[in-house]
Amino acid sequence: MRGGGNIVKWIKEQESRKENSVDDILISYDFQAGTYYDLYVNKATDYDYDLEHGKIADIISAYLDQICGENLSVSSQGVSIMECGVGEATTFSGVLKRLDMSKLTQAFGFDVSWSRIKYADKCLKAMNSEEAYHKVQLFTADMFHIPMKDNSVELVYTAYSVEPNGGKEKEILEELYRVSGEYLILIEPAYELAGDEARKRMLEHGYVTRLYDTALELGYQVLSYELLHADINQLNPTGVMIIKKGSSQKNEAKLCCPISKQYLERYDNAMYCKESCLAYPILKDVPCLLEDNAIIATKWETFE
């Protein structure tokens, strides 16, 4: 808010709610669009991005190597990765420039906010090589309805984007796990590893508090869960959870209709799904793939 308050907290107070909704998060993030980009690209903060991004890139690189080592077909073609809730790509761009591009076929990134995605594109273009930039596909979507098929992206990760979805840990974990093919890496607030003061703050802001317990309850293979030790706020300690999926049934990493989960075809200013007869707009080169963006277009092929 212009007065410096927390937008999501203010909206919840008006409606007497405890949990954050997708619309709350969308409104808040869209108003904030550009602030994270300015801090990162213009180095307007003392925060050590290099430390954080280096640690995250090291983790991801290690699991990319494992995927390539375990799967001969993948090792020859490369691995697809996706950052869910990419924001303004201040983490994504820092991680990508530290990865071996020869091991990547494509890198996907999405956010619920269109404005943030445009800043993400600007950030990636400014901070990364042309090779890395051209391997990235950005789009809008929400983490409860990711427009990708099951087991379609070898390595899926989040970086502080699951954070505001307290109370919805099960739904969001199931969706992230659904699209991942080999590994799911969660870099999120570590409520279970935090002190009392930090826990109190997380609860006040509606942050996730049961990611680890929920992953175990869902029967996921959690390889590790520990602190990252690179926190911008000591009252919001960051945890790293590594979940192995290792699916033997893979689907192609292509954008899908978020409702039918069938592949989309791109046209000049829209994407269309033949199976669901739904079209989605492309605004300034950004496919808008929220469920609410769907347009019923049963006669699309008639007018091709």
**pLDDT computed for residue 234 by the predictor:** 87
Euclidean distance between CA atoms 178 and 223, whole angstroms: 18
Q: Annotate 45-58 with b (16+ C-beta within 10 A) or e (fewer).
A: eeeebeebbebbbe
Task: Please give the backbone phi and psi of residue 234, each rounded to the nearest 5 degrees, phi first.
Answer: -65, -20
State the chain's mean pLDDT as an integer.
91
* Mean pLDDT (whole number) for 210-235: 94
The greatest distance separating any two alpha carbons of the chain, rounded to the nearest whole angstrom, comes to 62
pLDDT computed for residue 13 by the predictor: 52
Give dist(CA 254, CA 261) in Å, integer: 10
pLDDT in the model for residue 304? 79
% of the chain exceeding 70 in pLDDT: 91
pLDDT at residue 167 above 90? Answer: yes
Give dist(CA 201, CA 207) in Å, integer: 9
Query: In terms of DSSP bridges, do strands 180-189 and 153-159 run parallel, antiparallel, or are they unpaired?
Result: parallel
CATH C-level class of 7-244: alpha beta
| CATH 3.40.50.150 segments of the chain | 7-244
Contact yes or no for 247/253 (Cβ under 8 A): no
